[in-house]
């Protein structure tokens, strides 16, 4: 029975992702404030206190490290250093393909690879792996195992639906924000139909430049010349 309780299920993976996304956002915000002295949003979705990069990487680390069955802390550190770096590198490309923008760039740090991973953050992944396997996994597993099966399904389904909608709205918002500033595309319609009018209202009044630049202050895009720029730097030009 104890062995069965220690088995990683889809329910555990779901809660790993959710919890690490929230904790990762807090850590990222704190790190930014301590290192740069700026308190700004590090969210990955428009709604909810989530930084899904940490959710995906943390979940992947636990799943892979559990498969490797490493016991010693130095083994966990080395494996986490490598696996975390590879996961972050791949995820950087995936997010750029989905959203059309880059959420982070480590070119300002020494020993980085294409700005997508860096030595210091790889070290963080190694240290985090030890914490995940020594402390976090045990605590989360106990929490998940205590939730009644029926309640677990209802709660997880509701949160999953919210996350899917949140993700779709985020993609929509970022594309609107990007098209408006980079390509000067603004959706306007004279139609009396509900859906076109609703789209215009949302894009022009909800996905405003001020709102999007506040939620995603570090979004970067590549221009036709191949130069990478912050989207927010184009706001003043669009208002002229």
Question: With helix as H, strand as E and coil as C, how does the chain read?
Answer: CHHHHCCCCHHHHHHHHHHHHHHHHHHHHHHHHHHHCCCCCCCCCCCCCCCHHHHHHHHHHHHHHHHHCCCCHHHHHHHHHHHHHHHHHHHHHHHHHHHCCECCCCCCCCCEECCCEEHHHHHHHHHHHHHHHHHHHHHHHHHHHHCCHHHHHHHHHHHHHHHHHHHHHHHHHHHHHHHHHHCCCCCCCCCCCHHHHHHHHHHHHCCCHHHHHHHCCCCEEECCCCCEEEHHHHHHHHHC
Segment 21-31 mean pLDDT = 92
Of 50-54, 142-146, 155-159, 226-230, least confident by mean pLDDT is 226-230
In this prediction, residue 133 carries a pLDDT of: 94
Per-residue pLDDT, averaged over 55-84, amounts to: 93
Question: What is the reported pLDDT for 108?
Answer: 85
- The per-residue pLDDT for range 163-185, each reduced to its tens digit, is 999 999 999 999 999 888 887 88
Model pLDDT, residue 220? 85
Computed over every residue of the chain, the mean pLDDT equals 89
pLDDT value, residue 4: 46
In this predicted structure, which of 57-61, 68-72, 134-138 has the lowest mean pLDDT?
68-72
């Amino acid at each position: 029975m104890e062995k069965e309780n220690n088995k990683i299920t889809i329910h555990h993976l779901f809660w790993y992702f959710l919890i690490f996304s929230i904790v990762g956002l807090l850590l990222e915000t704190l790190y930014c404030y301590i290192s740069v002295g700026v308190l700004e949003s590090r969210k990955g979705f428009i709604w909810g206190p989530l930084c899904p990069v940490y959710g995906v990487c943390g979940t992947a680390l636990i799943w892979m490290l559990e498969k490797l069955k490493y016991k010693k802390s130095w083994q966990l550190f080395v494996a986490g250093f490598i696996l975390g770096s590879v996961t972050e590198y791949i995820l950087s490309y995936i997010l750029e393909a989905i959203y059309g923008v880059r959420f982070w760039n480590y070119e300002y740090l020494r020993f980085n690879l294409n700005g997508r991973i860096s030595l210091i953050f790889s070290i963080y992944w190694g240290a985090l792996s030890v914490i995940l396997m020594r402390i976090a996994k045990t605590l989360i597993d106990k929490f998940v195992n205590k939730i009644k099966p029926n309640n677990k399904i209802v709660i997880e389904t509701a949160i999953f639906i919210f996350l899917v909608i949140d993700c779709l709205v985020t993609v929509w918002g970022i594309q609107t924000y990007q098209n408006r500033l980079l390509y000067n595309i603004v959706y306007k319609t004279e139609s009396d139909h509900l859906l076109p009018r609703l789209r215009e209202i949302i894009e022009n009044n909800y996905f405003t430049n001020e709102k999007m630049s506040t939620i995603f202050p570090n979004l970067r895009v590549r221009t036709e010349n191949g130069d990478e720029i912050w989207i927010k730097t184009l706001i003043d030009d669009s208002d002229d």
